[in-house]
Structure 1
């Protein structure tokens, strides 16, 4: 698939990082009133996750270092190695899906990292990961992902009636973020790049109890 021939990228999931899955689950439940379900383990990264459906092809992930897994010989993704044991859970990054990760990465105005194979259980995918495990552009850059097969993982998650209505990306230079998203073909009215004193992600999520938001 070639960039420019249609919508080739879309928001895939948003990611909450936490020192432990228990802390992450409590953070999400406090914000949204719904507990995420069990996900699985990422052997190459020494991490594990919890999952919460936000639509047919969109979900929220809670991710933490897995204390029962060997320490990887590389930095963990999403800056998890920089998280203090008593640090707060927070919305730390987001992930954009593409049918051609190599084309999208090549078109990007920002270096989103190397394209690497990853797995969780029976699912396999390609994803961009900076070599130092950081999240680019002061913590608001997305990762790119290309899933190995259909259906999307969200279809197998419990539907609690949650949906993402808006993702705010705050940054001192919002035009830089907008240029990146345009370069990889992301057109989504739910994504809003705004001027902010500091870089931050804010997700607005519709729940059965009303509109809630999740961020730092």
Structure 2
């Protein structure tokens, strides 16, 4: 079985400026410029959370041609009034095909993606949705020896833990077990009728902040 690790957490937003402001206001630390994803007509900003872990703010890129397909991470469902949110997360695998086959939940076809000089494989549902209401991650396999987080500016932030709240916690827990995830990720019941949500506890220069 391949090894699997928490790679990054993703804040989705209708605009990159709104998403970056949400992170800055919550954590007291501003994410740095990222780049563009031409195939998805999206762009991002980034915040290092460790040598092999980071936070991504991602949104549609209004300056890019429409992709002719649903954007990833449910971004097409956002409007000007949609608040930024910690909507999904990404798990790094040493063998994405084996991890996808072992997953107890369908995570989508494996596709090649790029941003600048970076290339990777990632699972993307065909309809662009976020699997299991955000409880299920995308899988990623970087096509490089060095993790991109190692080249980001270190602003003194680190992920303490990621919590998943889901109305069917046993289903979410089965998924994590099937991926054999090595990460501080914990599943909790969302409560009767409660929606699924993600909560990240992040150590910052201003103390622990909750996103």
Could you say which residue in structure 1 is the equivalent of 2:203? 206
The reply to whether residue 122 of structure 1 matches residue 117 of structure 2 is: yes
Could you say which residue in structure 1 is the equivalent of 2:182? 187
Q: Choose from 30, 33, 52 the match for 2:47.
A: 52
Size of the aligned set, in residue pairs, is 208
1:86 Cα deviation from its structure 2 partner: 2.4
Could you say which residue in structure 1 is the equivalent of 2:33? 38
Could you say which residue in structure 1 is the equivalent of 2:163? 168
Could you say which residue in structure 2 is the equivalent of 1:154? 149
1:108 Cα deviation from its structure 2 partner: 0.4
**1:142-196 superposed Cα distances (whole Å, 9 cap, x missing partner):** 00000001210001111011000010100011111111111111032x2110001
TM-score by length of 1: 0.95
C-alpha root-mean-square deviation of aligned residues, in Å? 0.8
Gaps of 5+ in 1: none
Runs of 4+ in 1 over 3 A off after TM superposition: none
Q: Choose from 63, 72, 75 the match for 1:77.
A: 72
Could you say which residue in structure 1 is the equivalent of 2:172? 177
Could you say which residue in structure 2 is the equivalent of 1:113? 108
Secondary structure class of the residue paired with 1:70: coil
**1:109-141 superposed Cα distances (whole Å, 9 cap, x missing partner):** 000000000000000000000000000112321
CA contact (8 A) 2:10 2:55 kept: yes
CA contact (8 A) 2:6 2:182 kept: no
Q: Choose from 6, 11, 31 the match for 1:16.
A: 11
In the alignment, the residues of structure 2 paired with residue 110 and residue 95 of structure 1 have an alpha-carbon distance, to the nearest angstrom, of 14
In the alignment, the residues of structure 2 paired with residue 140 and residue 72 of structure 1 have an alpha-carbon distance, to the nearest angstrom, of 26
1:198 Cα deviation from its structure 2 partner: 1.7
Gaps of 5+ in 2: none
TM-score by length of 2: 0.97
In the alignment, the residues of structure 2 paired with residue 175 and residue 57 of structure 1 have an alpha-carbon distance, to the nearest angstrom, of 28
